[in-house]
Amino acid sequence: MGSFDGIKLYKDKGEHLYVQLYKAIKELIVKGELNNDEKLPPIRKLAKKLKVNNVTVVNAYHILEQEGLVYKKIGSGTYVSPDLLAYAYEERGVSNNLGSLSFIEQGQIQIQKNMINFASATPMSELFPVGDFKQALNEVLDRDGGHAFDYQESRGYFPLRKALIEYVEEYNIFANIDSIQIISGAQQGIDIAAKALLNYDDVVIIESPSYTGAIASFKSRGAKIIDVKLLDDGIDIEDLDKKIRIFKPKFLYLMPNFQNPTGISYSRDKKEKIIELCKQHKIYIVEDDYLSDLNFYSKDNATLKSLDINNELVIYVKSFSKIFMPGLRLGFLIAPPIFYEHLLLAKHSSDISTSGLLQRALEIYFTKGTWKDHIEYMGEKYKDVFDVMLKNIKKYMPSQVDFIYPQGGVNFWFKLPKGVSSKNLYETAIKKNVAIAPGNLFFVHQNDDRHFRLSIASVDSDEVEHGIIIISNIIRDLIEVKNDGEVKEEVYRPIL
Ligand SMILES: Cc1ncc(COP(=O)(O)O)c(C=O)c1O
């Protein structure tokens, strides 16, 4: 019976024998010691070998089947579900990867002057509302004097939290004051959620691909990261369901609107199914809403938080960096009551509080309504570039390149034909003064070499065409080289 020979069950362990057996077989599967579609030993044979009742084996197989780890063929037996080896490798891979702290550094792309920058998803400083914010800052200083420089309470400046309640109502989120926590940017929000919720070895499920900063934060907590493929209308629900059953994650980290890096938006149906699934399995969601305000063509940019009517599942993390000013380091989160204290402690141990001066200025900026005008202005600016980008991608990008049409946001995601390397594309484009983000950065194991992301946040609409022509021509050349059979085997080296 090979791998099954090592299984030992103990009657005096205080745990049912079938549970012990189920755990032992699960471990064999997760460790990759059984093959896809490998037949498990017949019930009677295994029962005899382990000196237990047939029912013990039947029950153990039944739980494995419920978790999707095995499947039954009527009249034939029980088999290991395919794809599980991939999960097992993922699990081990991540565990081995815990120390790779250079990850975030690799995400830093050096941008030269005059470069066409499709790599950064950061808005151009020319768009920042400096004049209006200066006025708000002056008002705070005239009004509050030195108090503006006191330590602010860790949960955040009360009037700002009140203003945010009104702000989120426009997005059908009905928060109460206690649920709102001010954070020094969404990155900190993700990080304190990880700190508050995760213990070493806990599992987090993320989309594949996902946001590099979140992956780095979960890794730093010693979490196991399991990824689930994104389809055109959002995460693959069947795979998610299976992995939830197998890995029992602490939470899902999701970006349901204009996802980073793919630009994909989840269908309403999928958003609702995810809420149902998480309710059923009692799993939390960390929703990263970094961009839902930049909706150009989507019919539904509802957040998961707006569907979490009882405020029990979703920790909603809101960034202002893409639509406002990233250097302010200001955002907020809305959490279910069960997390209030944990998040507050995590926030306090991170930086005590977010700058009181900036929170006060933001509150004035919000309550005066200047904010709305600015979002409208940013929306118009981005939509201009977005439309120019779409037009030029359609016009110039080689047909062999797969491309996801986003309906808003700032990111465009591409898949190169087989044999064409995104690292090559990145390196060649940089020499021609065009920066792109190679796809490997956005995957847990960073072993992707087929994808790349172009962002419109840092480009002018009148440089888009030139940039897309350069990228398209490089890809054409790379395809030609590949077709001539001259592609050299890639040697991996850090690129950023
Ligand atoms: C998806 C996503 N979440 C969070 C962040 C971090 O945002 P903040 O600047 O608010 O910390 C970013 C920044 O690029 C992002 O792309």
Q: Which of 45-54, 113-122, 425-434, 469-478 has the lowest mean pLDDT?
A: 113-122
pLDDT value at position 69? 82
Q: Which residues contact 135 (CB under 8 A, 6 or more apart)?
A: none
Q: Is 187 in the pocket of ligand 1 (CB under 6 A)?
A: yes
Could you give the dihedral angle defined by the CA atoms of residues 386, 387, 388 and 391, in that order, rounded to the nearest 10 degrees? 120
**Same domain, residue pair 75 and 210:** no
> Cα separation of 161 and 363, whole Å?
8
Q: In what order do the strands lie in the sheet with 234-235?
A: 180-183, 331-334, 314-319, 284-289, 251-254, 203-208, 224-231, 234-235
Atom index in ligand 1 nearest the CA of residue 259 equals 1
Range of the domain at 214: 154-364
For 218-249, the pLDDT digits (tens) are 999 899 999 999 999 999 999 999 999 999 99
Mutate to test the pocket of ligand 1, among 183, 191, 210, 211 (most ligand atoms within 8 A of CB): 211
Domain presence at residue 46: yes
- Work out the pLDDT band at 383, boundaries 50, 70, 90: very high
Cα–Cα nearest to 318, from 335, 308, 339, 332: 332
Q: Span 378-404, mean pLDDT?
A: 95
Domain presence at residue 428: no
Residue 90 pLDDT exceeds 50: no
Alpha carbon of 86 to ligand 1 centroid (Å):
29
Q: Is 424 in the pocket of ligand 1 (CB under 6 A)?
A: no
**Same domain, residue pair 185 and 72:** no
CB neighbours of residue 395 within 10 Å: 11
> Cα separation of 343 and 238, whole Å?
31
Q: In 3-state terms, what secondary structure has residue 366? A: helix
pLDDT value at position 102? 36
Residue 100 pLDDT exceeds 60: no
Atom index in ligand 1 nearest the CA of residue 211 equals 1
Structural domain tally of the chain?
2
Q: Which of 90-104, 126-140, 365-379 has the lowest mean pLDDT?
A: 90-104
Residue 98 pLDDT exceeds 50: no
Alpha carbon of 21 to ligand 1 centroid (Å):
44
* CATH at 18: 1.10.10.10
Residue 274 pLDDT exceeds 90: yes
DSSP bridge partners of 295: 408
Residue 487 pLDDT exceeds 50: no
Q: Whose CA is nearest to atom 14 of ligand 1?
A: 121
Q: Is 185 in the pocket of ligand 1 (CB under 6 A)?
A: yes
Domain presence at residue 103: no
Q: Is 321 in the pocket of ligand 1 (CB under 6 A)?
A: yes
Residue 11 pLDDT exceeds 90: no
**Same domain, residue pair 64 and 176:** no
**Same domain, residue pair 64 and 158:** no
* CATH at 212: 3.40.640.10
Cα–Cα nearest to 9, from 27, 30, 24: 24
Alpha carbon of 107 to ligand 1 centroid (Å):
13
Domain presence at residue 354: yes
Q: Is 211 in the pocket of ligand 1 (CB under 6 A)?
A: yes
Alpha carbon of 213 to ligand 1 centroid (Å):
7
Alpha carbon of 141 to ligand 1 centroid (Å):
29
Domain presence at residue 243: yes
> What is the share, in percent, of the chain residues with pLDDT greater than 90?
71
- Work out the pLDDT band at 495, boundaries 50, 70, 90: very low
Alpha carbon of 439 to ligand 1 centroid (Å):
17
**Same domain, residue pair 76 and 175:** no
**Same domain, residue pair 76 and 177:** no
Atom index in ligand 1 nearest the CA of residue 189 equals 11
Domain presence at residue 437: no
Q: Is 439 in the pocket of ligand 1 (CB under 6 A)?
A: no
**Same domain, residue pair 191 and 286:** yes
φ, ψ dihedrals at 221, nearest 5°: -85, 0
Give the chain's radius of gyration (CA, Å): 25
Atom index in ligand 1 nearest the CA of residue 122 equals 14
Of 364, 382, 398, the domain-final residue = 364
For 308-326, the pLDDT digits (tens) are 999 999 999 999 888 889 9
Q: Which residues contact 15 (CB under 8 A, 6 or more apart)?
A: none
Alpha carbon of 214 to ligand 1 centroid (Å):
9
Distances (CA, A) of 84 to 28, 74, 122, 367: 11, 21, 38, 52
Of 65, 82, 99, the domain-final residue = 82
* Residue 185 CB burial class (10 angstroms; 0-12, 13-18, ≥19): buried
Of 34, 49, 82, the domain-final residue = 82
Q: Whose CA is nearest to atom 7 of ligand 1?
A: 186
Alpha carbon of 38 to ligand 1 centroid (Å):
43
Domain presence at residue 246: yes
> Cα separation of 20 and 64, whole Å?
12
> Cα separation of 173 and 308, whole Å?
9
Q: Is 123 in the pocket of ligand 1 (CB under 6 A)?
A: no
Instruction: Judge contact between 350 and 188, C-beta under 8 A.
Output: yes
Alpha carbon of 158 to ligand 1 centroid (Å):
24
Q: Is 331 in the pocket of ligand 1 (CB under 6 A)?
A: yes
Cα–Cα nearest to 409, from 487, 298, 314, 288: 298
pLDDT value at position 492? 44
Domain presence at residue 382: no
pLDDT value at position 144? 95
Query: Diameter of the chain by CA atoms?
Result: 84
Instruction: Judge contact between 344 and 315, C-beta under 8 A.
Output: no
Alpha carbon of 321 to ligand 1 centroid (Å):
7
- The mean pLDDT value of the chain amounts to 89
